[in-house]
Each structure stands twice: as structure tokens, then as C-alpha cells.
Structure 1
Amino acid sequence: MALLPPVSPFAYEDFRGHMLQHLLIGMYAPLALVLGALVTLLLRTLPVHGARLLSGVLRSSPLHLIANPVVALLLSVGSLGAVYFTPLYQAVAGQMLWHLVLHAHFLLSGCLFAWVIAGQDPAPTRPDVPVRLVIMGFAVAGHAVLSQMMYAGLYLGVYAPAEQVQGGAEIMYYGGDIAELLLAAALVATWRPTRRPPAGGRTGRPHGSRPGVAVGTEKPLI
């Protein structure tokens, strides 16, 4: 959808279209792919050799490094600053090949972040849910700060009419919030808090009682 009409032509004519395309590719598509347990599906459908290769990649040291939620946050949100607040965006805007590379980065970094935060597939270095919620908070704050800076035109490396830049910033702000709320909802929906046994191995029954027997009466409960 993001690479097809009417979004694709709009993206090449108007910065607002580019930002809409970026949201679809970098936030909404990764959310759908990750919640669909794509890795598990691939492991079940690939030939044996292909599945072993994929398993080797999943166990590799480089993946353990980039699957850290902090690294995934920097690759996803941090790269937005590198794209829109440096000359990088203008350098790739007119180059089809590099523009596709930029799309691929948005998609892959978005999938990585969604996977380590709320993916259905196992991840090598996924921390507890409260930690991931804190990282989600940093992602929301990062998107908000970058979109507000874009709206104000501070240090911006995008050369487009002011109404397009401000419209793109609004799309980034509100559209990004919705995507992050959906990701947080997916995270919370799959959260199963670990129940710890009571101290001292107590089971919650009064001391000296037996299951199905009332204390002091030693008669079966009906």
C-alpha cells in the first residue's frame, strides 16, 4: 500500500506524502508483520537447510547485539534525527536506489524494534515487560521531540514548503503516537506476570490443616 498509488505518487510530490509513507513502512507494517509471528512461520515453512540457516542467524552474536532494546531504539528512532536533521534526506530524495535503501532501513529497523518490544517470536535479549515499557516511553518522547523540532523548523535538513513540513510533522506526531499505542497495547496484552510462591513455601492453608478437612473439626468439608 505504501509503495502503490495514491500514496507513492503523493510521497514524491509532497513531504507530507513522504511522511505518511514513512509511517506505513516504518511503524504500521512492522507491527503487523511482528504480531503475525513471521519468524515462527518461516521456521515452519522453510526447507530444513533454510530453517537451519535462519536458526543460526537468530543465535548469532551480531543479532544478540542489535536485538538489545536500547540498540533497536537507536536504530529506529535515532535514525530519524540522522535522516531529517542532516543533509541525508536531500541527498537521497532524488536518487531512486538510495530512496529504496532508506525505505528498507525504515522497515527493518521498525520490525526490529517491534520484535524486541512485543514480538510473538522469541528474542535473544528481551528484558522484562516493565523495562520494555520504559523503553517504549523513550520512543514516544523521541518521536514527540523530533516532530516538534520539525514543525518549528529547528536544525531541519529538509527543504520543502513550510506548510508541507509542518503537515509532515503533524503526521509524524499523531500517526506515530497511534502506532506506539498499538505496540504498547500488544505488549501489555501478551504480559503474563510471574507469580512467586509465598515465603517459606506456604500454600495459603492454615498450618496443620489438610485439603478438604476443616481445622479443629477434622471432618470432611462438603
Structure 2
Amino acid sequence: MTAAVAVAHAGHGAATTAWPPGVVVPVALAVTVALTYVAATAAYRRRRMRPWRPARTAAWLTGCALVVAALSPATAVAPDDASRHMLQHLLLGMLAPLALVLAAPVTLLLGVAPPGTRRAVGRVLRARPVHVLTHPVTAAFLHVGGMVVLYLTPLYALTTRSPLAHGAVHVHFLLAGYLFAWSLAGPDPAPRRPGTATRLVVLVAAGGAHAALAKLLYAHADRLPPGAEHAAADVEVAAQWMYYGGDVAEVLLAVAVLGGWYRRRARRGTGRAPAPRPVAAGR
């Protein structure tokens, strides 16, 4: 998916009503990723003798569709269009990552991969550097910090002139957004993941920082982002997209975090043992 985002900005100049050549390849990649996941669910059903959850498949397809929507002519970005920049960032950095995370792709991989691959994935998940990287505080810093750097430094102005910089920023948004959602609400196995209370505190703090950045953009729309040639009214609209769109994404994240907590509590209340972690299957 990240390759798809990078290639998409080879010719991101003006908005068009037709699919530009630079979008055909990433859209094809997104479709391929979606179909690969569906094929893996069939393999999971054959190997495990039980169906993969349809809701997870729907989440993956939704995430892929949101990536395609962010790259489509409907949201194609003109260099002087701040609000469409912001819409792309919301789709790629907040909404699509949450949908992809809820699809539990690592769990699916562990359910269909050979033992050697499962052992390798398990070692990666238990590695200390991975624990640091996937801690909610680290993920929040990369996620929100990336937006602060983009909108409060000349980097944003550079992305309006350089397709390469534009694509690199969107790759960062997708990866950082995925990491943030995974650290908070991912159903995949995550050894040493902090408890629900810690994750909710991080989510509230990150949401507050995100809202503060949106308010700062709105209050200084005539000067921010630095070096960008946008009308103040356009930046104000973009700031509103950031503020209210971020609220929607953060509420969805909170629902996902609390939903996972509720399901775990319900399993304990009914006396059912939780399903074995797929990571252990390869030991």
C-alpha cells in the first residue's frame, strides 16, 4: 500500500476529472492487495477449518477503498488547494489506517503461513525495538509529530512543488497512522501492549494535540503553512477538515479500543478461555 501512495504522486499537479496515468499503477496495487487478502482468508478457512471473520475482510476492503479514494480524481490535489490536501491526509493518515488495522492482517498471516514464517513473525513481535516502536506514546509522537512538522515548517510548501516530497509525506502519513491505530486498537497479537487505560490516555492526549494544531492553523490561516501560497479562507476550511475529521477518526479509535476491552471482559465473564495466540503456533 505504501508503494501505491508513493507512485501516485508522480504527476499530482492539477485536479482532473479522469484517472491520470500516475494513478493507474497504485490503484492496481491497491486492488491486488485487497484480492490477496481475500485469497488468504480462503486459505485460512481451508487450513483452520473455520471461517475468517467477515467483518475483518470488510474492514480491509474498506481501508483499500479509502486509499483509492484518496488517490482518485475526486480528491486530486492542485498546488493551491489546501482543503483537498487536508482531505487526502485525513483519508490516508487516519481513516484508512484504522480500517486496515481492524482487519488483523498479522493474525491472518500467522493463520496461513508455514511454521518457519510464523516463528519469524513471532520473534519480530517480541523484539525489544519493536516494543519501543509500537508503544502508543512512540506511535502518537510519529503520528501527530509528523503533522506538526508538515504544517508548521516549510515542508508543506515543498510538497506543493515536489511530487517526490508529496508522495513521501503521504507514505509517512499512512505508515504512522497505521502504527498509531495498531498500537491502540489493533486486534493482532502485540506482546507487552500497555493496558486499556494507558492507551485511552494516549489517545486523549494525541487528540488534544491534533485539535490544538487545527486551531493554530485556523487562527493563523494568513501565515500558515509557512511558504504556502494559499488563500486564508482555504486554509481555514482545511483547518476545519482537520479539526472535525480528526474528531471522527478519534471517536472511531476510542470505540475500537473500548470494543476490544469489552470483548475481553465478556470472554472472562462467560468463563470462555481466549483463543490461543497465533504467535505460539509456530513455537
Q: Return the TM-score normalized by structure 1.
A: 0.80
Structure-2 separation of matches of 1:74 and 1:183: 16
| Cα distance in 1 between the residues matched to 2:119 and 2:162 | 37
Query: Could you tell me whether the CA contact under 8 Å between 2:95 and 2:249 is conserved in 1?
Result: yes
Corresponding residue for 1:186? 256
Alignment-derived partner of residue 108 in structure 2:
41
The one-letter code matched in structure 1 to 2:83 is: R
Partner of 2:54: none
Q: Distance in 2 between matches of 1:51 and 1:101?
A: 31
Tell me the equivalent position of 1:74.
Answer: 141
Determine the C-alpha separation between the residues in 2 that align with 1:31 and 1:62.
23
Q: Which moved more, 1:151-160 or 1:102-111?
A: 151-160
Does structure 2 conserve the Cα–Cα contact (< 8 Å) formed by 1:35 and 1:120?
yes
CA RMSD across the alignment: 2.1
Letter in 2 for 1:16: S
| Distance in 1, Cα, partners of 2:184 & 2:238 | 26
Aligned mates of 1:128, 1:63 — CA distance in 2: 17
Percent of paired sites with the same residue:
47
| More helix as a share of residues | 2
Q: Give how far 1:27 is off.
A: 0.4
Q: Secondary structure at the match of 1:2?
A: helix
8 Å contact 1:67–1:124 — kept in the other structure? no
CA distance in 2, matches of 1:185, 1:170: 23
The answer as to whether partners of 2:83 and 2:235 remain within 8 angstroms in 1 is yes
Any stretches of 5+ residues in structure 2 without a counterpart?
1-68, 267-283
Structure 1 or 2, whichever has the larger Rg, is: 1
**Counterparts of 1:45 and 1:95, CA distance in 2:** 41
- How far apart are 1:13 and its partner, in Å? 4.8
**1:49-106 C-alpha deviation (Å, 9 max, x unpaired):** 5544433432333211111111111000121111110111112322112211111110
Instruction: Call closer, same or farther: CA 1:43–1:21 in 2, change over 3 Å.
Output: same
Q: 1:173 aligns with which of 222, 231, 243?
A: 243
The one-letter code matched in structure 2 to 1:98 is: A
Kept after mapping to 2: 8 A contact 1:118/1:187: yes
SS of match in other structure, 2:187:
coil
Partners of 1:49 and 1:22 lie apart in 2 by 37
Deviation at 1:122, TM superposition (A): 1.9
Q: Is the 8 Å Cα contact of residues 98 and 253 (structure 2) preserved in structure 1?
A: yes
Counterpart in the other structure of 1:2: 70
User: Structure 2 residue aligned with 1:84, among 151, 159, 168?
Assistant: 151
Residue 205 of structure 2: aligned partner:
138
- TM-score normalised according to structure 2 size: 0.63
Give the 4+ runs in structure 1 shifted more than 2 A.
10-13, 42-62, 154-158, 192-195
Q: Return the offset for 1:157.
A: 2.9
Structure 2 partner of 1:25: 92
Aligned to 1:164: 234
CA distance in 2, matches of 1:99, 1:49: 38
1:129-186 Cα shifts (integer Å, max 9, x gaps): 1111111110110111000000011773342111111000000000000010001011
Task: Note closer, same or farther for the CA distance 1:124–1:98 as it changes in structure 2 (3 Å cut).
Answer: farther
Aligned residues: 194
Match of 1:98 among 140, 144, 165: 165
Q: Note closer, same or farther for the CA distance 1:39–1:165 as it changes in structure 2 (3 Å cut).
A: same
Structure 2 residue 158 is the aligned partner of structure 1 residue 65: no
Q: Distance in 1 between matches of 2:240 and 2:265?
A: 40
Per-residue deviation, 1:44: 2.7
The answer (yes or no) to whether the contact 2:217–2:225 under 8 Å persists in 1 is no
